[in-house]
Structure 1
Amino acid sequence: MRYPVLLADCDAMTRNISGSGAYFETDRRMVVDQPISFALVLPAAPPDAAAKPYPWREGRVVDGRVVRVDTGETGQEGICVAF
């Protein structure tokens, strides 16, 4: 699922997201174990009307820690963050 990630100095898009973390690609350089805060922009409702509503609202600010950095599919840095 691809959702916008709003960082202080750049924007990114998620490649994967779960209740415990997210993976996104960005031009920003990060290191493992770095604390991070960002806003996730999620839709107001899940794509499937029968699904359980998302626990977050649009623009939810989350705090986490970088647990993996690699080269993403687009050549940008792939960042895995645990919430």
Structure 2
Amino acid sequence: MMGGWYGNGWGIGAWVAMALLMLIFWGGVVTVVVLLVRRPHAGERPAAPQPPHQEAERILGERFARGEIDEQEFTAKRAALRRQE
């Protein structure tokens, strides 16, 4: 006879190698699917960054809300920002 069902097979090392290769394969498949789903589609544009004056007004509003500047200073600086547009 040939030594049973397992015979002179590759042994446990082959089973470990096959398991690792299977994990790598399925990990690659999942990665490709995720990348395909998350990529930007044709016709879609990335969000445009806000103009600098809008960002400055947001920061100015935050400073006013925290009490770092008073209403008069807030109004004057906001008017100055809007004149620069």
Normalising by structure 1, we get a TM-score of 0.18
Write 1 or 2 for the structure with the bigger share of strand: 1
Which of the pair has more CA radius of gyration? 2
Write 1 or 2 for the structure with the bigger share of helix: 2
**More RCO (CA 8 Å, sep 6+):** 1
Normalising by structure 2, we get a TM-score of 0.18
